[in-house]
Structure 1
């Protein structure tokens, strides 16, 4: 049997659909989720002549549940038949169905890569490979970015996933030695168990134990990693902009909760004037706020405790807005760089110059290299900011 180009195309298409890299969509999916939510809510409210607040809340909850169910079943829309034999299959698609890139799937891949890089940076390369093995084992069972944990796996499953690597030969983790054979090298399973324990006890919370799934079941703890990675970015920003002492004050307030100025000064080991100045700076930038606790019923300012605290969610929102502004500024800079070189760009894009680059002088060749370097730096900066936006908004 001959396999034509159409067969190859259909097979590749089927693989992309089954891997959820593309998803089936209907015509109404071209609208945003909020527009579809508002339209569905308005349609349901028209059925009522008299409506109470409880009825309205029930309608909103029903519409949200219906939209969530549509998102879960959207992946199988339009797929009428699946392949039975690898060489003989038929893919029937409903004419009303369109297919689009499933951005959630790619965002999950980017999220997984960020977690692996975080584990590698915080512990070592082997720890990153162990976390990556968890993702490889459960890649077909992860459907949403908002999941609290990854599919569970045992150390034996992870050991089988990393069997082809050189983890066993690195010996970069201290394991308790066998009292009978102290010179015996640890096995691959023992190394994997040791790293899982290390990742589980780490303050970042990479791995969690899932007792409800059975004995020796572990999973990547997305719920804790979200807060850890967001807080890491916030602290890094404060440290870079305002110094390590200001970052230390912010970290103390996050860990200890609401504190007065004297407590902050004592814990941060700073002079009273320095601590007051840095708290005022953080307050001006919107990273900390003040909670008044009155001593008496008249709530006089002179008879109130003033407690400092960090509104984390507000800080993350402000940081996300700053990232959007940064991307806009980078794009404007790129447009400006191209605009001031418009005549030169038109020249190098001429047909005769494209066919024969030797028509350009040495100075023009250097200018082309300079343009490429500037554009590359702008795109790299945009890519880095995009990774921060993904963690703050989508993770």
Structure 2
């Protein structure tokens, strides 16, 4: 676990959960799986407070527990990757809104806020929120939206406690049950709500299936890459290939089973749009096959042939491109030229680097050793005895360990996230008085509007914010918007690098 990751986790936790949970989580981050008494002793918090913190984090799936050797005490383990997902919540909701609409977005938002809940609780809460917004949507429609999310595997049933009673409970779930929905009778749900009793599906909880979201985000990365590199028709063809892959192959497999290209062609013809893809279908297939990312390769010699999809190869190429871009941004174009040469040759001597890159020898040597110092390059010494004598000749070869470079860039991303979040918090603290005043004025204006206040009265309330304060608020809003965009952009890079490590 890196120190930079710990700093990012600290900022996320203290912002969303407070200092107690932050301190307990950082202890688990630093020292690994620990029993509750060790956590209490080292954090100096009362036992009840530690229990409450662990309970909240377990509910949020940020902490998991396993029995120790004698199975009487639980050891708690932090899940750092799960905490980092909080940065992607806006992306998850945007994805659902684009695919299923506003109601499904509200369902996902509610479950992300609660971490887990029953289907009836979500349906009732979302319908009430829609009613407050003067949106006339029935319980039955909200229920159908919930069912569609479970059917599409964006929501998943959570594990239940096993039948066998143990000091440390064990959670189990049938493999056939993750996406089954309990009977949802709207009349019974409304009756339970009116009588303030338990809902009929009490004890059956649902949570967000992050893997399903990441699958869509992964596909979007690939499709956008080919759209930018070629055009929208190439992107659509890649999207069709990925969709047909899931019919035959596990979504997270590094290499798919063969997909008949004639099947893709038939789908394109049935759609009748776009005409360019229908007319130049074979050419698009050849261009994608010959692309250096190696996403697809022919696997059969039958008419039309079949293609296998190599997601591992594609994300390896994406990782190389990110590494090259980092070298270009951190150093210059000459350093990037050296990096690409070493990548191409795999193992290369310094003299050959100077010769092939056509860079001044002194500058080439300086840049090479700077890349070595920053861990973008690795060095290996080889010794070989000269023929007929005992004298050994030494060779120094430079090479790249992509996995190590990727981990280093991930560390840089964590450092960047920490800097962005720290600067954003500083900007907010510096203008806290004006921001709080704006919130109070907005609250008063909203209350007056609900009471039927006239436009003149509302204008008088808004004038409580002076023109200089409005300028400051506009500047703060622009700055916050930039920080949020930077945070999402860094997370996009993190996501692609994590995909590479998953397939590695």
TM-score, normalization: structure 1? 0.73
Do the aligned residues in 2 keep the contact of 1:153 with 1:218 (CA within 8 Å)? yes
- 123-132 or 366-375, which deviates more: 123-132
Distance in 1, matches of 2:356 and 2:179, equals 61
What CA deviation, in whole Å up to 9, does each residue of 1:41-82 have, x standing for no partner?
xx9xxxxxxxxxxxxxxxxxxxxxxx9xx99x6573372779
* Match of residue 358 from structure 1: 463
Call closer, same or farther: CA 1:189–1:101 in 2, change over 3 Å: same
Call closer, same or farther: CA 1:281–1:75 in 2, change over 3 Å: farther
In structure 1, which of residues 376, 381, 386 is the aligned counterpart of residue 486 of structure 2? 381
Shift of 1:222: 0.7
Do the aligned residues in 2 keep the contact of 1:353 with 1:360 (CA within 8 Å)? no
In structure 2, which of residues 118, 135, 140 is the aligned counterpart of residue 7 of structure 1? 140
Distance in 1, matches of 2:440 and 2:400, equals 57
Call closer, same or farther: CA 1:302–1:97 in 2, change over 3 Å: farther
Call closer, same or farther: CA 1:345–1:317 in 2, change over 3 Å: same
Call closer, same or farther: CA 1:147–1:139 in 2, change over 3 Å: same
Shift of 1:384: 0.6
SS of aligned partner of 1:204: coil
* Match of residue 424 from structure 2: 334
* Match of residue 367 from structure 2: 278
* Match of residue 47 from structure 1: none
Do the aligned residues in 1 keep the contact of 2:182 with 2:201 (CA within 8 Å)? no
Aligned counterparts, 1:136-175, within 5 A: 136-138=243-245, 143-149=250-256, 152-158=259-265, 160-161=267-268, 164=271, 167-169=274-276
In structure 1, which of residues 187, 194, 197 is the aligned counterpart of residue 283 of structure 2? 194
SS of aligned partner of 2:240: helix
Do the aligned residues in 2 keep the contact of 1:253 with 1:309 (CA within 8 Å)? yes
Distance in 1, matches of 2:335 and 2:472, equals 43
Do the aligned residues in 2 keep the contact of 1:260 with 1:305 (CA within 8 Å)? yes
* Match of residue 399 from structure 2: 309
* Match of residue 257 from structure 1: 346
Do the aligned residues in 2 keep the contact of 1:126 with 1:167 (CA within 8 Å)? yes
Do the aligned residues in 2 keep the contact of 1:133 with 1:162 (CA within 8 Å)? no
Considering only aligned residues, what root-mean-square deviation do their CA atoms show, in Å? 3.5
* Match of residue 107 from structure 1: 214
In structure 1, which of residues 22, 27, 32 is the aligned counterpart of residue 155 of structure 2? 22
Unaligned runs of 5+ in 2: 1-136, 163-167, 185-198, 446-460
Shift of 1:267: 1.6
In structure 1, which of residues 346, 359, 366 is the aligned counterpart of residue 436 of structure 2? 346
What CA deviation, in whole Å up to 9, does each residue of 1:3-62 have, x standing for no partner?
x94433332222111111011221579xxxxxxxxx99xx9xxxxxxxxxxxxxxxxxxx
Distance in 1, matches of 2:267 and 2:466, equals 59
Do the aligned residues in 2 keep the contact of 1:155 with 1:193 (CA within 8 Å)? no
SS of aligned partner of 2:380: strand
Distance in 2, matches of 1:342 and 1:329, equals 20
In structure 1, which of residues 352, 370, 373 is the aligned counterpart of residue 475 of structure 2? 370
* Match of residue 243 from structure 1: 332
Call closer, same or farther: CA 1:204–1:28 in 2, change over 3 Å: farther
Distance in 1, matches of 2:209 and 2:303, equals 33
Shift of 1:197: 0.9
Do the aligned residues in 1 keep the contact of 2:341 with 2:357 (CA within 8 Å)? yes
Shift of 1:314: 0.4
In structure 2, which of residues 177, 200, 219 is the aligned counterpart of residue 76 of structure 1? 177
Aligned counterparts, 1:112-151, within 5 A: 112-138=219-245, 143-149=250-256
What CA deviation, in whole Å up to 9, does each residue of 1:181-227 have, x standing for no partner?
xxxxxxx5451121011100111223222339995223432121011
Distance in 1, matches of 2:357 and 2:417, equals 35
What CA deviation, in whole Å up to 9, does each residue of 1:121-141 have, x standing for no partner?
222222112212223444566
Do the aligned residues in 1 keep the contact of 2:249 with 2:256 (CA within 8 Å)? no
TM-score, normalization: structure 2? 0.58
* Match of residue 127 from structure 2: none
What CA deviation, in whole Å up to 9, does each residue of 1:282-326 have, x standing for no partner?
0111111111111249xx998311111111110000001111111
Do the aligned residues in 2 keep the contact of 1:155 with 1:192 (CA within 8 Å)? no
